Amino acid sequence: MGRFCKCNGRLLCMCMLPCMMTCHLLIYIAVSIFVTISYSPPKINLHYVAPGVTANSSALSSHPRGPFWNLRLEDSALWNQLQHVWDRRHNPLLRGNRTGLLKPNAKTPDAEDECVSDCESHKCSVPAMLDFSSLPEHMKAFVTAMHCREYPLLINQPSMCRRNNSSADLDTPMLLIAVKSQVGNFENRQAIRETWGRAGFVKGETSRKGGLVRTVFLLGRQDSSTGPHPDLKNLLDLENQKYQDILQWDFRDSFFNLTLKDLLFWSWLQKHCPTAVFVFKGDDDVFVRTGALLDYLHKEWEEHSLWRAYTNESQMNLIVGDVINNAMPNREPSTKYYIPERFYQGVYPPYAGGGGVVYSGSLALRLKEVSAKVRLFPIDDVYLGMCLHKLGLSPRHHPGFLTFDLPAAERWNTCAYKSVLMVHRRSPKEMLALWKQLQDLSSQC
């Protein structure tokens, strides 16, 4: 009896085991299917909402908005649509048949390439966009000219980085300061020249090192042909004769055209000053503690040199500033930053606030290359974020970059500036006063 039972039990076991395993497998499959079906993309955590954003502007991710083999073009936002076409053109897996990608009324890609420099051409008409006529004027102006990204230089500084005026012998500035300015802002430029933007050898604040600093001002055109502007051309020529630090391009200097200053500056840098180790790009109403910034950059450079000794990685991809993550486009039509949903959908990639940002010269050259694959976007700091995203990089946050200024009570407290690298915003008079006040900061605090 006992023997029979034991035998029977084993038999039972042998029968049950496959059954149980199959059951488990089925349960596993069922659970997997359930999980897959009920999966919803993670909620994006908003750190920062651009002023005027509405509660329901949908948070579609900006970059891969679907599988890359998706041939269907989104019919929604103009920028996403145009970028989609370029992404596919530059996708090494898909290069080949482009005809299927374009909408019937779109131009062929080759015609488009001509448009980059031939801004007046009739072939390069406005891209099809829903309700174009109802857009605000500055948005219309941007869309009309957004295919065009090459403008001639009106004022150049070909020898900014040349030693002894010879083309072969390039200087290697530790820091090239590039300041976005406008023709009329003579006072800001002069205050910068006399304070934080002074060109030449600048001492570091704590370490004795310091480095060679060069400064250029980036200008577009502002005269009677671009709006109600007085003609300041002669004054500007005079200023340039004296200081030789102005770069001016032949495009209308407007808020939505600031991205052009980045693009054209990168091209200029590649051609005339590729040896610059670091670049600071900022507005003409910021204040920079240049010495402290040089100390910081020296530290980064030394760390990079150590790293390079181990890894052979010669490129430095540093970019630091006041980093803004998960910002949403501003959907409030009355504001300066308004971006209609018909123009762009998605969250902005991480970017460094535009008041001032520092990047390595080698990164600037990479940005120049990759910008050829990113459609112009009307907000320059977001555009820089998009280019970084395309390179697979993101900016590094540094608490010393104060895009939104110090607390009001601290603004005239000298010691509050000890940890500051850049602060926005200061008038020319304030720059001069602050510069004097912060001269021997390290001994005072």
Ligand X SMILES: *[C@@H]1O[C@H](CO)[C@@H](O)[C@H](O)[C@H]1NC(C)=O
> Of 163, 271, 299, 429, which lies in the binding site for ligand X, with binding defined by CB under 6 A?
163
Q: What is the number of the residue whose Cβ is closest to ligand X?
A: 100
Q: Which residue's CB is nearer to ligand X, number 88 or number 252?
A: 252
Q: Does 147 bind ligand X (CB under 6 A)?
A: no
Q: How far is it, in rounded angstroms, from Cα 340 to Cα 79?
A: 11
Give dist(CA 70, CA 89) in Å, integer: 13
Would you count residue 165 as binding ligand X (CB under 6 A)? yes
Options 72-80, 156-164, 179-187, 316-324: segment touching ligand X (CB under 6 A): 156-164
Q: Closest separation between CB of residue 261 and ligand X, Å?
A: 11
Select 71 or 408, whichever has its Cβ closest to ligand X.
Answer: 71
CB nearer ligand X, residue 36 or residue 167? 167
Minimum Å distance from CB 441 to ligand X? 33
Binding-residue pattern over the window 205 to 224 for ligand X, x denoting contact by CB under 6 A: --------------------
Our CB check for ligand X shows the closer of 222 and 325 to be 222
* Candidate residues 79, 142, 265, 343; the one interacting with ligand X per rule CB under 6 A: 142
Q: Contact between 164 and ligand X (CB under 6 A)?
A: yes
Tell me which of 32, 58, 61, 108 binds ligand X, using CB under 6 A.
Answer: 58
Please, which residue, 251 or 296, has the CB nearer to ligand X?
251
Which region among 137-145, 292-300, 368-376, 429-437 touches ligand X (by CB under 6 A)? 137-145
Query: What torsion do the CA atoms of 353, 358, 360, 361 make, to the nearest 10 degrees?
Result: 100
Compare residues 86 and 406 and give the one whose CB is closer to ligand X.
86
CA distance 321 to 393: 14
Q: Which 239-268 residues touch ligand X, going by CB under 6 A?
A: 251-252, 254, 256-257
In the complex, the residues that contact ligand X under the rule CB under 6 A are 56, 58, 97, 99-100, 138, 141-142, 145, 159, 163-165, 251-252, 254, 256-257, 312
